Structure formats: structure tokens, C-alpha cells
Structure 1
Amino acid sequence: MPDIPVRKRKSVLYNLGKFKVLYLMFLPGILFLLVNNYMPMFGVLIAFKNVNYADGIWGSPWSGWDNFKYLFSTSDAWEITRNTLAYNTVFIALNLIVGVGLAILLNEVKNKAMSKLYQSLMLLPYFLSMIVVSYLVLAFLGKDSGFMNSTILQLFGGQPIDWYSEPKYWPYILPLVNTWKNIGYYAVIYLAAVVGIDEEYYEAAVLDGASKWHQIRYITVPFLVPLIVIMTLLQIGRIFYADFSLFYQVPLESGALFPVTNVLDTYVYRTFLIGGDIGMSSAAGLYQAVVGFVLVLVSNTIVRRMDKDNALF
């Protein structure tokens, strides 16, 4: 290292020796990141190739941008893009509003045993397989024996509905199912931040005559803003990714629901099943990753200009 000043070189060597145990602990995570996240990136080449199994990935001819043209030239391009963006936008909003709301409510539960019970009950659906969730939804929405048709609608004198043949209901059903399944995860994260707020702020607010709503508005929410920004930016990065199981398993692959349940992931999957073209599937994945990356950069830049301290990086 001839270009590094002697004093700086000694400082680097000193830090390496002083923190060598920490670096060794850090090493497995770095290796996992390289093997799991960076080495597979060579598969990006597949998006620009017309892959055939006889020649392999490297020997297959280049296709240029043809695989990407497929995504935008199809008649369903607008539909799947609209559904993917619209649903994820609603999911992000619900995860934020409901997650923060439940976290604040849980913080008001002073009985520790009941608080733990509520947290466990909310978090339980997060660990359920989407296949199990799809059967639970079927138990509610089944045409003949579903709880909605056999109990709720009869109670109010309504007629049974064939839920899996009526697209107009699913823009409401899918966000509801997604929120029920995932909200425990977000609520627990926000609750950890709420619990960390110093109680002295609330005591001072009470002495000044602040109501509970004013305490939430002027103390709790401002303290949660940095975490809210981080969680929102991370979700924006995956706004072009759809929960495949949610849109594939829960509607039971009903063709009548495709106009409102067909998203980019399910469309590519069905196309791959029909044509078996992994180049097109890889092009879709690369497209989602690049757009998500750009959206995170743009969103973070906007946040940085508004408040530098709340930016992700």
C-alpha cells in the first residue's frame, strides 16, 4: 500500500486488529449475501437470450430486447400493470394506517398478559401458508356452504352470491385478506417504536391539558415518522412485485376473476406454463427489479429534500 500515508495505514491495521472479532462475526453475513444475492445476478443474461436447453445459457443465441417487448406488446399489458400498481399502493396505505393504529392501541393495553395475547393473535396469520389462507377464504365465500352465503346473507335476507365468479368484489376482498394476514408483522414493528418513546413527553403533555388525540398527533406520530418512511420506502421498492400466492391461490385461479386478479407475477407464470420461455420470465423479473430500484431512489431523494434526517440513505 505505497500510496497510503504511514499514519493512516497504521490506523487501518490497528482497527482491523482491534475489531477482528467483530469482522469475523460479520463475515458469515457477507458470504451469505454474496452467495444468495450477488452470484445469482449472472442470471440477468437470460433476460436477453433466447434460451434453449440444448445449448445452455451461455450457448443460447442473444435475443436483444425481444423478451421485454413481449411484456408491453401484449393486450393485457395495461391490465396487469394497473392491477399490480393499484393493489400494492392500497396495500402500502393499509399497512401504514392500520399498522400504526393497532400499535398505538396495543400500547394502551397496560395488562402485559393481555398485550402479549393480542400481539400473538395478530401475528399468527402472518405465519400461515397462503394455501391455508385460501381455504379459510373459501370457507367464508364458498357458494353453497360458505359462511357469508349460508349465515350472514341469510341473516339479512340477501341472496347467495357466487363470489368466485363476480370480479367486482375482489378489489375489496384481496386488500382485506392481505391486511389480515400481514398486519401483525407491521403492528409489532411500529409497536416496538411506540414503546421506545420516553413517557416524560406524555406526562408533560397531560400536565399541559393535551387530550389523547393530541398526544398521538403531536408526540407519537412525529416519533414514528422515521420508521414510517423507512418501511414505506422498502415497500415502494417492491411495488412492481405482487404477492404471487395471494393473487394465485386465494382466487382459486378462477378465470372469471382474471380482469381484477391478474398481476405481473401471475401473468408471467401462466405464460411460462404455456410457452416454457424462461427468457420472458427473466425479463419480467429484471424489469420489476430495475423499476423498484429506481422508485426507491426517487422516493428517497424526495424524502431527503423534505427532511434529510428521515431519508433512508
Structure 2
Amino acid sequence: MSATTATVSGPKPDERLRLAPRPRERRFSGARTLRYALLLLFLVFVLTPVYVLVVTSFKGAGDASPDTAWALPSTWTLENWSAAWEALAPAIGRSFLMVVPAAIISSVLGSMNGFVLSRWRFPYANLVFTLILFGMFIPYQAVVIPLAQLLTVTLQVPTGIPSLIILHVVYGIPITTLIFRNYYESVPGELIEAARVDGAGMLRTYASVILPVSLPGFVVVLIWQFTSAWNDFLFAVFFASSQNGPVTLALNNFANGALLQNYGQSMAGALLASAPTLVVYIVLGKYFVGGMMSGSVKG
């Protein structure tokens, strides 16, 4: 009887271990809570300017001022968005005409360069790669005047979108070459050797073996080049005008003309000008991270 009673009373040793809180789990729970709190704090810090932009874009001319930047509109209106769209719509179309071919051409050229420099070794290949990378570190301000003389005077390239396409292609080649070279280093060498055994040359190997596995790399460089060309302002100032330039130049002129009369129009214009890049990152952001990670580990 006493043995049975002793067996029934009290939890078993395994149950006591299972019911007792573990210090390590408590420590991890506290660290996780702190991490989430910091992430929430950073999120609020980043989204605060976005809140001001969105709220002010719906305010009327008399309602938008620095003193009422945090307050909600007393009367919600879409007039600012209508005015901004009417002023910026042509420039947005020209920006698409500029960034799409510039991103595609520079990505293709960077892919070819990256393949040759990573898999088809030739004398002084590393020196050539280093010289290409130098283009990433040359400030735009240092070469903008020689570029203007070369494009507009020597080569007679029309100002506006044609000149900007050439500039963004040339300046995009170093970064696209670097990304693709690192990405192709992770492609198994057996695939290249098998193509060589089958008699494929460099172009056939690139077209039949490399391009089919290059989608993650192209996603990365296309997003990078799209946003870089879309947000450029310095080249637009020197090689275009408000009549034939991209949206960044048109937004600057629009904001300077409307800043004293209506802050809401400036905010609406800024949101319209940044909407394409925001959409690209929202839709393709996970592919961008995945493409960067796919070339970070060799094997």
C-alpha cells in the first residue's frame, strides 16, 4: 500500500524536468523579445518620413505647412496627385524609355564579361578585371565635363534619353561584371568541361550552359541597374533638360515651382517619382536577396 501511494503521489522525474522552465529558453525568449523591439523601433524610424509624405500629399494648399506636418488633413483631397501626375507623366514615360534598355544592355554585357573573366582565363585577365572595377570608384563629378565633350561634341550624340542610356550602360558595366563574375564562380566547373568535351566553343557554352542558370544573377543586376538609373540626377542635369529628361529632373523643377505654394504637390510628386522603384523592390525583393545569396557560396 505504501509503495503504491508513493508511486501515485507527485510527478515523475521526467515530468518534473518537463514542467520546470529552462534557463536557456528564458534567455533566448528575452533576446528574441529585445530583437523584435529593436526591429519595431527601426521600422518606426524608417516609416516616419513616409507617413509625413503620404499625409501631406492629401492636404490642401492652406492645410500643408511645417507646423501641421504630423497632423492628418482636415480635408482630404486628390488635387495634389492630379497636378503631380499631369506634370510628371511625360517624364515618367521617358524614364522608362531610358532605364529599361540601359539595364538590359548593361546586364547582358556584364554577364558576358563575368563569364569570360571567371571561366575563360587569358593572359592578364586579373589585370583587365581590376581595370574594369576602377570604373566603380571614379566619381561622376570628376568626368562629367569630359563626358559632355565626348558625347555631345565629338560623337554628336543627342542630349536627353540617348545620351543617358549610353552613360548608364557604360557606368553599369563594372558592377554588373563584378556581380556576374562572382556568381559564375559558383557554377560547377564540370558543366563547362562537359560542354568543351562536346565541342562547344565559348559562345555556344555561354548560350547553352551558362544563360539557363543565370536567372538569379540577372534578377540582381536588373534591379540594381533599374534603381540606379531611375534615381540618377547628376547625369540628367548635364545631359538633359526638363523637356527631354527623366523624372528626377522634372521632379526637381516641379518641386521648386510648387514648394512655396503647396507642399502637398511636392510630396505627391515625390511619391509618384519613387513608386516604380518601390514596386520593383516589393515585387522582386525576395528574388534580389536570393540572387545575391546564390552567388555567395561556391560549390
Q: Which runs of 5+ in 2 are unaligned?
A: 1-17, 294-299
Rounded to whole Å, the distance in 2 between the matches of 1:81 and 1:227 is: 27
* Corresponding position of 1:158: none
* Corresponding position of 1:4: none
Aligned counterpart in structure 1 of residue 78 of structure 2, from 49, 65, 76: 65
Matched, 1:42 2:45: no
Check whether the contact 1:240–1:288 (CA below 8 A) recurs between aligned residues.
no
Could you report, residue by residue, the CA deviation over 1:229-287 in whole angstroms, capped at 9, with x for unpaired residues? 34435656x49944122212x32x6xxx44322x2221121122223243222212323
Could you report, residue by residue, the CA deviation over 1:67-113 in whole angstroms, capped at 9, with x for unpaired residues? 11112334xx442122111111112211221111111222256368x
Distance 1:192-1:32 versus aligned 2 partners, 3 A rule? farther
Distance 1:91-1:278 versus aligned 2 partners, 3 A rule? farther
* Corresponding position of 2:15: none
Check whether the contact 1:201–1:219 (CA below 8 A) recurs between aligned residues.
yes
* Corresponding position of 1:306: none
* Corresponding position of 1:226: 216
* Corresponding position of 1:285: 270
Check whether the contact 1:269–1:281 (CA below 8 A) recurs between aligned residues.
no
Matched, 1:194 2:184: yes
Secondary structure of the 1:259 match is: coil
The alpha-carbon deviation at position 57 of structure 1 amounts to 1.0
Rounded to whole Å, the distance in 2 between the matches of 1:181 and 1:28 is: 40
Distance 1:234-1:131 versus aligned 2 partners, 3 A rule? closer
Rounded to whole Å, the distance in 1 between the matches of 2:116 and 2:38 is: 36
Structure ID, larger Rg: 2
Check whether the contact 2:57–2:266 (CA below 8 A) recurs between aligned residues.
yes
Matched, 1:99 2:99: no
Could you report, residue by residue, the CA deviation over 1:103-138 in whole angstroms, capped at 9, with x for unpaired residues? 1222256368x3343233222233333322322313
Rounded to whole Å, the distance in 1 between the matches of 2:209 and 2:145 is: 42
* Corresponding position of 1:132: 142
Rounded to whole Å, the distance in 2 between the matches of 1:290 and 1:93 is: 20
Q: Show the 5 A alignment for 1:82-161.
A: 82-108=93-119, 110=121, 114-141=124-151, 148=154
Rounded to whole Å, the distance in 1 between the matches of 2:168 and 2:191 is: 35
TM-score, length-scaled by structure 2: 0.70
RMSD of the alignment, in Å? 4.2
* Corresponding position of 2:10: none
Distance 1:36-1:119 versus aligned 2 partners, 3 A rule? farther
* Corresponding position of 2:174: 184
Identical amino acids, percent of aligned pairs: 16
One-letter amino acid of the structure 1 residue matched with residue 85 of structure 2: F
| Higher mean C-alpha deviation, range 195-204 or range 119-128 | 119-128
* Corresponding position of 1:203: 193
Aligned residues: 266
TM-score, length-scaled by structure 1: 0.68
Q: Which runs of 5+ in 1 are unaligned?
A: 1-6, 153-160, 304-308
One-letter amino acid of the structure 1 residue matched with residue 79 of structure 2: D
The alpha-carbon deviation at position 292 of structure 1 amounts to 4.1
One-letter amino acid of the structure 2 residue matched with residue 48 of structure 1: F
Secondary structure of the 1:260 match is: coil
Rounded to whole Å, the distance in 2 between the matches of 1:89 and 1:40 is: 29
